[in-house]
Amino acid sequence: MTVRPILIAGDPRLSTPAVPVTVFDEEFAAFVEDLFATNTAADGAGLAANQVGDPRAVFIYDLRDADGRQRGCVVNPVLETSERPETMPDPEDDLEGCLSVPGEWFPTGRAHWARVTGVDATGAPVSVEGTDYLARCLQHETDHLAGHLYLERLIGRHRREARRMIKDRGWTVPGDQWTPGTSSDPR
């Protein structure tokens, strides 16, 4: 397993929709294991393939919530959710972060419930359903594969703060990345 560098906001690969996975071979299985290793090294809740520069439609999740540890892989995901709130998110209860926006957290409105269907790393059908933190993670990672960072979901002053942060950090050029567990870790 290899810990891969994670792309930082501003890289166009993060805004490019993923391509469906059609080959489930040893190389793909090893890649999925790399996603888990990278996510663990970064202390993340999930990681999408395009965050490490790979265009395939796959994400992993590995988090702890009220239901215990939730861990898995979804390939070619299709997302369903309950209604998304249209009000200002709670600045304490709705904080969201991203490994491609390291060290930053912003209140983000998400649906309370989500289900993702697709296949696993071997091509077998899979369905993952959850509320609260797991639902947030499923929506976040599916957004990545559609070419969207969570920053695009921000509203009001939070959206303005995020834009200012991106500019202040210089995250406006392709190729910025960081490798978890190394001196390039920006957190």
CA distances from 167 to 20, 24, 78, 106 (A): 33, 39, 33, 16
Annotated binding site: 98, 140, 144
Give the span between the Cα atoms of 172 and 62, in whole angstroms: 29
Q: Which of 80, 83, 141, 152 is catalytic?
A: 141
In this structure, the dihedral spanned by the alpha carbons of residues 83, 86, 90 and 94, taken in order and rounded to 10 degrees, is: 50
Query: Phi first, then psi: what are they for 128, rounded to 5°?
Result: -125, 130
Binding-site residue positions for Fe cation: 98, 140, 144
Mark whether 129 is an active-site residue: no
Question: So which residues are the catalytic ones?
Answer: 141
